[in-house]
């Protein structure tokens, strides 16, 4: 009897020891179903744990570098925020800002749609109650090299930057990022962005679509979302001019001169003296206000406007549009520069050791001026992606003079798509938030009273719109 009791006792002790040894494995496996550690939480050295001024949150976020070319020493900086709740159930969204040469971290992540917004004077961060990581896992990329913290050790590459270079590096980045975050490898994936990312986003989407023919390279891309996007150069310029005239920024005479003398479809519309002077007059008048937000104040504390050569008529890069500057708070660019050049911030984001600092700027004007290759239109890519069945939504803040609603309407008109749901208002909190129209393969919507960076102006509205996009549902069309 004593032997039987002893055997039972030993059995239970061994079983308990076995249970303890298996517990971490069970916990790790169960994390895939939302138990224990979140699915996206990984040990790759990029977890951000001590970001200065960060409000307390329940989700994890990561920042650091992904090498895209080891031979030339090319690496892109990213900042990734897990969804606030159930990240394992939510899609992955890559956000890109444009310029070209402007930072998606400085704009998208900490001025528009990220969970932390740069506070006054760059001294800290405040919580964004309308962050898009309420609905998705959000990945922000500083692209191409030379933007923000992203870099190349081969300096000659900076003279080669253009649309194709950027798309290829972003594509390589994604595959290498998935090695860091393998649980997102097959996740439902969307790409979103604004302004010059109106070219980046479709170009990257096309690259993914084409290379998905190889199963080993498959990325589960389902759609793209574009805000005030540069789309087709000729239509973008024409829309800028017509919008300036229709909003009383320029005179009838200036508008008439430009309409008569400018052929924006030509390789060099500025070779016509009357056209060149007419467009210079448009830019001169826009220098008096904020081209990105017609009805809000400029930042008098900033020296950026005085040094902003992009607001003059482009010469060598004749078809390039002015780069992004500004937002709802026109001083936010300055706040971001202060914040990201702090030693403790750079150390927390894994870009420096806190001593050998990197010089961060929200936009790199050298990249803008030296941009080597730009597709004149991405409308052919739209057609291809529509045929492939991808979800394409385009939205436009209607107080932006930089890529105004007219530019987008002129560009989309080229597609000549059949209308499936005619022009109507969409609502947020019982008020008209804008108007929208649905076509076969594309949805176009406006944001009433929003400037260039729509989420900065209409954070709550844009979050609801983003949610509708992810669900594949029409924007709310009843009060």
Q: Which residues are catalytic?
A: 195, 400, 452
Q: Is 359 helix (H, G, I), strand (E, B) or coil?
A: coil
Task: Name the pairing type of β-strands 431-439 and 442-447.
Answer: antiparallel
Q: Is 66 helix (H, G, I), strand (E, B) or coil?
A: strand
Q: 70, 43, 64: which is closest to 172 by C-alpha?
A: 70
With residue 223 as reference, give the H or E element that holds it: strand 221-227
Cβ atoms within 10 Å of 15's Cβ, excluding its own: 10
Q: 397, 416, 402: which is closest to 236 by C-alpha?
A: 402
Token look-up 């549009």 returns 321
Measured between alpha carbons, how far is 206 from 381 in angstroms, rounded to an integer?
Answer: 7
Rg of the chain (C-alpha set): 25
Q: 453, 424, 417: which is closest to 227 by C-alpha?
A: 453
Measured between alpha carbons, how far is 276 from 241 in angstroms, rounded to an integer?
Answer: 13
Measured between alpha carbons, how far is 308 from 365 in angstroms, rounded to an integer?
Answer: 9
Measured between alpha carbons, how far is 118 from 107 in angstroms, rounded to an integer?
Answer: 10
**Cα-based distances in Å from 291 to 113, 216, 242, 285, 288:** 21, 45, 14, 9, 9
Are 36 and 27 spatial neighbours (Cβ–Cβ below 8 Å)? yes
* Per-position b or e across 248-270, b if 16+ CB within 10 A of its CB: ebbeeebbebbeebbebeeeebb
- Considering all CA atoms of the chain, what is the largest pairwise distance in Å, rounded to the nearest integer? 110
Q: Is 222 helix (H, G, I), strand (E, B) or coil?
A: strand
Measured between alpha carbons, how far is 272 from 277 in angstroms, rounded to an integer?
Answer: 9
Length of the chain: 479
Cis peptide bond N-terminal to 417, omega within 30: no
Measured between alpha carbons, how far is 422 from 412 in angstroms, rounded to an integer?
Answer: 15
Cβ atoms within 10 Å of 114's Cβ, excluding its own: 25
Measured between alpha carbons, how far is 119 from 332 in angstroms, rounded to an integer?
Answer: 8
Token pair of 193, please?
């962005």
Measured between alpha carbons, how far is 88 from 86 in angstroms, rounded to an integer?
Answer: 5
């Amino acid at each position: 009897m004593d032997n039987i009791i002893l055997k039972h006792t030993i059995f239970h002790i061994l079983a308990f020891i076995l249970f303890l040894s298996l517990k971490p494995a069970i916990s790790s496996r169960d994390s895939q179903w939302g138990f224990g550690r979140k699915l996206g939480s990984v040990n790759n050295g990029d977890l951000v744990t001590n970001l200065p001024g960060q409000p307390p949150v329940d989700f994890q976020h990561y920042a650091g570098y992904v090498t895209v070319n080891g031979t030339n020493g090319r690496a892109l900086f990213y900042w990734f925020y897990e969804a606030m709740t159930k990240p394992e159930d939510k899609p992955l969204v890559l956000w890109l800002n444009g310029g070209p040469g402007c930072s998606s971290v400085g704009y998208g992540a900490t001025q528009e749609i990220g969970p932390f917004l740069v506070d006054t004077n760059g001294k800290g961060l405040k919580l964004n109650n309308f962050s898009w990581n309420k609905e998705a896992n959000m990945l922000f990329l500083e692209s191409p090299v030379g933007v923000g913290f992203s870099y190349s050790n081969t300096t000659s590459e900076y003279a080669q930057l253009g649309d194709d270079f950027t798309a290829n590096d972003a594509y390589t980045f994604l595959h290498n990022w998935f090695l860091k975050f393998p649980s997102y490898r097959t996740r439902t994936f969307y790409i979103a962005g604004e302004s010059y990312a109106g070219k980046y986003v479709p170009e990257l989407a096309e690259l993914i679509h084409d290379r998905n023919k190889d199963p080993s390279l498959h990325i589960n891309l389902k759609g793209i979302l574009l805000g005030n996007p540069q789309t087709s150069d000729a239509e973008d310029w024409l829309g800028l001019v017509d919008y300036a005239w229709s909003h009383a920024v320029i005179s009838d005479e200036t508008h008439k001169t430009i309409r008569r003398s400018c052929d924006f479809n030509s390789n060099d519309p500025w070779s016509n003296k009357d056209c060149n002077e007419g467009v210079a007059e448009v830019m001169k008048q826009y220098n008096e206000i904020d081209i990105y937000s017609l009805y809000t104040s400029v930042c008098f504390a900033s020296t950026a406007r005085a040094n902003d050569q992009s607001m003059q008529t482009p010469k060598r890069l004749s078809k390039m549009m002015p780069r992004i500057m500004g937002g709802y708070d026109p001083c936010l660019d300055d706040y971001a520069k202060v914040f990201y050049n702090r030693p403790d911030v750079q150390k927390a984001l894994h870009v420096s050791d806190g001593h050998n600092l990197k010089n961060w700027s929200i936009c790199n004007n050298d990249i803008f001026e030296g941009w080597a290759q730009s597709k004149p239109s991405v409308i052919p890519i739209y057609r291809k992606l529509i045929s492939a069945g991808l979800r394409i939504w385009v939205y436009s803040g209607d107080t932006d003079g930089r890529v105004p609603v007219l530019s987008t309407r002129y560009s989309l008109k080229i597609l000549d798509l059949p209308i499936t749901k005619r022009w109507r208002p969409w609502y947020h909190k019982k008020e008209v938030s804008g108007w929208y129209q649905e076509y076969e393969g594309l949805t176009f919507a406006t944001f009433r009273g929003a400037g260039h960076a729509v989420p900065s102006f209409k954070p709550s509205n844009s979050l609801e719109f983003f949610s509708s996009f992810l669900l594949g549902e029409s924007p709310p069309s009843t009060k």
